[in-house]
Chain A
Amino acid sequence: MFLTSCGGNDNNVSTSSSAASSGTITIDGSSTVFPITEAVAEEYRSINPNTRVVVGVSGTGGGLKKFCAGDTDISNASRPIKPEEAKLCADAGIAFTEILVGLDGLAIVTSSSNDFLSDGITREQLKMIFEPEAEGKITRWNQVNAAWPDSEIEIFAPDTDSGTFDFFTDEINGHEGLSRADYTASSDDNVLVIGISGGKSTIGYFGYAYYTENADRLKLLAVDGVLPNDGTVSDGSYSLARPLFIYARNSALIEKDYVQDFIRYHLSDDTDYLISEAGYTAPSSEQRAEARHAFEDALGGHSH
């Protein structure tokens, strides 16, 4: 039996004569969203074993490039689609629907052995530490706050390829990609965990899941007095939380009932526990309702 999932080919021809809802759903994109999609795909398999779901990890930008070339049915993204990417899709005649699937609180952390950051940090102070002007100048903690000790600021943070870096620099420094460069950068968050937990006067940031898995050796910092958790991320009171999306190609939703069925499952409350297991916050019920509305809109009169 040969199953094709060719780029640009919408008709996944299956020579097997199984139920209508069988075929391959091709998903690609963000590594941050991957654990959610993997969990949903795994559970969906027990509901509908005839549908094959394959998930790739080429990053938010790489995934959307493939999506707008018609290679994939669904694209995972840890940020909203950019205007130039949306234009790429429009030029290729690909209409899509944006669906919010979760929220990721960005954890600002120091080592558990740190003794002066217990009261947390402010966005203002974060900007002082991370803005490009700080490079080579702001190197001691007492330069940021006179009450803090005269010890070196040791920074361990994601490298420039990371979507987390894009989000943080946009939020804190006011412009995506704008940052000081004299810090230890890594694309591997587990490396950052080791670096941050290794000193006393360290600071860094990454997705909340990496904090919860290493809570014994890290200290989570409140930002402007708010600690990230499901409650503060969900209601928006924690300001450093980013939305996680999936983008679905409308033609795939309409023409392939198994893609439609998969998204419908993804949007149900049944998947809330999968999202928290992956280390993220599930969308609020209003956000869910909004996403379902967008989904039904995309289907128009084509609902099966």
Chain B
Amino acid sequence: MSSPEQPTKRITSSQFRVRLRARHLTGTLFVALAMIGTTIGVVLLAVLLFEVARDGVRFLSLDFLNSFPSRKPELAGFKSALWGSIWLITFTALWAFPLGVGAAIYLEEYASKNRVTSLIQINVSNLASVPSIVFGLLGLQLFVRGTVGIGPDFGGFGRSVLAGSLTLALLILPVVIVAAQEAIKAVPSSTREASYGLGATRWQTIQHHVLPQALPGIMTGTILAIARAIGETAPLIVLGAFTFVAFTPSGVLDSFTAMPIQIYSWTSRPQADFQDLAASGILVLLFVLLTMNTIAVFLRHRFGHLTKN
């Protein structure tokens, strides 16, 4: 019951236009639009996958994974490219993960909020959108040749797995840092306060409470960043990855080729068979990507589950 001394302004049904039909129509239109958006994406992907699979399935076999590149399409294989990419990605992760997570912990948990910190923060975000070829040029000077024009010249690592992985690590570092920061931010501050309340130090709090809770998010971010790095061609070409390599790396200072480079080389050949080989290469690359993304989902689920108990 409304009190009589507070007269409310009533909207009469004559003023309020229901327009039920129009509102429902707008709703239906929006659903249709959203569905079209989704469908276009899915259909395009399906067409692409179908095209690639149709061309690529012919050469896909264990021999393909176990042979080195050849001028004869029926003998040509993906071995050096596949293993080159695996070496490259393993070391990229090895450099990028500790550096990225370390930077994120510092920025979120230790750094005081001042101008320097926000300057660093802005630069990290900007670096995430710098074209990858720029990182290739940086890697060529810094890691391959070992000179930047200023300071000592240390000789460089040559066109090696080490130089390639360091460059790719720089490339994905901003993405890893931002992802790790977001994951750390998502840990409720009540957790930290409870830990401090029990007398834990800052590092103990981070070590036992913040990091374990943030880990699934950090892992997912890192793996997705690495998955991006595995498809990168431009920086590797700039810093001088090779196209014909008939061995797999046996050390970080070995020369290498990578999956996208081999695929690119095959697509530019005049012979139609090489185009199909490129499609087979794309299928292998997609499979590796899918595996990595599956691992990301699995880790998120697994660690997420552990910390809740």
Contacts and interface: CB of A to CB of B under 8 A. Distances in A.
B204 interface: no
A42 interface: yes
Interface string A40-60: 011001000000111111100
A39 B70 CA distance: 7
A2 B253 contact: yes
Interface stretch (B207-215, B264-272, B287-295): B264-272
Instruction: Please report whether the interface of chain B is mostly helix, strand, loop or mixed according to DSSP.
Output: loop
A26 B255 contact: yes
B255 A274 contact: no
B240 interface: yes
Contacts of B145: 7-8, 69
Given A2-B251, A7-B156, A45-B246, A190 B237 contact: no
B159 to A, nearest CB: 7
5 contacts: A41-B244, A45-B246, A56-B240, A57-B265, A277-B71
Contacts of B255: 5, 24, 26, 52, 54
Interface in A195-228: 207, 209-210, 212-214
B237 A58 contact: yes
A64 to B, nearest CB: 14
A158 to B, nearest CB: 12
A28 B158 CA distance: 14
A135 interface: no
Interface string B234-248: 000100111111110
Interface in B99-140: none
Contacts of A190: 267-268, 270, 275
B274 to A, nearest CB: 10
Contact of B244 (A2, A3, A7, A37): A37
B241 A188 contact: no
Contacts of B270: 189-190, 207, 209-210, 212-214, 279
B92 interface: no
Interface of A: 1-9, 24, 26, 28, 31, 34-35, 37-39, 41-42, 45, 52-58, 66, 69, 71, 188-190, 207, 209-210, 212-214, 274, 277-279
Contacts, number: 109
B69 interface: yes
A285 B6 CA distance: 111
A56 B144 CA distance: 15
Contacts of B237: 57-58
B95 interface: no
Given A190-B267, A209-B270, A8 B155 contact: yes
Interface residues of B, number: 34
B160 interface: yes
Given A28-B240, A28-B242, A189-B270, 9 more contacts: A1-B250, A7-B144, A9-B158, A34-B243, A38-B69, A52-B247, A53-B244, A71-B240, A207-B270
B283 interface: no
A48 B70 CA distance: 16
Contact of A6 (B156, B244, B269): B156
B160 A53 contact: no
B254 interface: yes
Among A4, A45, A210, find the residue whose CB has the most chain B CB atoms closer than 10 A: A4
- Residue of A4, A8, A54, A279 contacting most chain B CB atoms (<10 Å): A54
A8 B159 CA distance: 11
Nearest to A211: B270
B233 to A, nearest CB: 12
A68 to B, nearest CB: 13
Contacts of B275: 190
Contacts of B247: 52
B139 to A, nearest CB: 13
Contacts of B251: 1-3
A265 B250 CA distance: 27
B71 A35 contact: yes
Contacts of B252: 2
Given A5-B160, A209-B270, A55 B243 contact: yes
Nearest to B70: A42
A24 B265 CA distance: 21
Contacts of A212: 270
Contacts of A55: 242-245
Contacts of A28: 240, 242
B157 interface: yes
A71 B268 CA distance: 25
Interface string B256-279: 000000000101111110010000
Contact of B241 (A56, A189, A207): A56
Nearest to A69: B145
Question: Which are the 5 A-B pairs with shortest beta-carbon distances?
Answer: A6-B158, A2-B251, A55-B244, A213-B270, A54-B242
Contacts of A1: 250-251
B268 A3 contact: no
B155 A6 contact: yes
A80 to B, nearest CB: 23
A54 B258 CA distance: 13
B268 A9 contact: no
